[in-house]
Chain A
Amino acid sequence: MAQRSREGHVVFLLVVGLLAWLVPGAGHVMLGKKKHAAVIFVAIVLTFGAGLYIGSIGVINPIGAKPWYVAQVMNTPAVAALGQMTKTGNYPVYGRPNEIGQIYTSIAGLLNLLCIVNAVYLAHLSKDEDVGD
């Protein structure tokens, strides 16, 4: 792999991190780790989707459940768009479905944060070596 300049390397790390946040697993795709990316994408999307199915999109609550919302936004910035829809209060959800939905969607977001950090770390290592599959 060709060596990058210091500035180019920082930009590369930022792009990998941003891509990994935009779409779960996309950071690993950029590093050539397609199997890792597929596993991460399927697992995170299924977990997030299950949370939304159980609790409805009402579990994304940027006003009444801000700490959960911060974790949920780690899935993808598109969650912020859902937050704009739900902050009107048209999707009320209470009790156990709310708890389970929030836990699923927030854990999915935190797992994606782990993957973002992992992708950036692998991208940093790739400055000296090829880390692809």
Chain B
Amino acid sequence: MTKLTALLLANFTVPENIGVNPQSMLWLLPLVASIAVVYKATKVPKIKAVGFIRESAVLFGSIVVFMVVTALVLCAMAWLITE
């Protein structure tokens, strides 16, 4: 038990190995999910499982779509300026 606890705590003292590549951008997805869930928890007067999950999913999708659109617009602008 002590070894297991020590092993668990040790995981928090050494950073994970995450490369600088396009796939590392996917780390934003869990963060966006967390933001959507907490924000909705502060907004809805009553929490009912199905409705809450649906509303959080809609907000999650909205944020992701907005970020993708923003990224595409910035890419297009960069391409227009540099070409």
Instruction: Contact check, A107 vs B31: say whether CB atoms are below 8 A apart.
Output: yes
Who on chain A is nearest to B47 by CB?
A35
Contact of B34 among A36, A96, A108, A115 (CB under 8 A): A108
In the bound complex, residues from chain B placing their C-beta under 8 Å from that of A50 are 30
Q: Which of B11, B15, B47 contacts A93 (CB 8 A)?
A: B15
Is B15's CB under 8 angstroms from A107's CB? no
CA gap between A95 and B19 in the complex, in Å: 9
Spell out A's residues near B (CB within 8 Å): 35-36, 39-40, 43-44, 46-47, 50, 52-58, 91, 93, 95-98, 100-101, 103-104, 107-108, 111, 114-115, 118, 133
What are 6 pairs between A and B in contact, CB < 8 Å? A40-B38, A46-B34, A56-B13, A56-B14, A91-B13, A97-B18
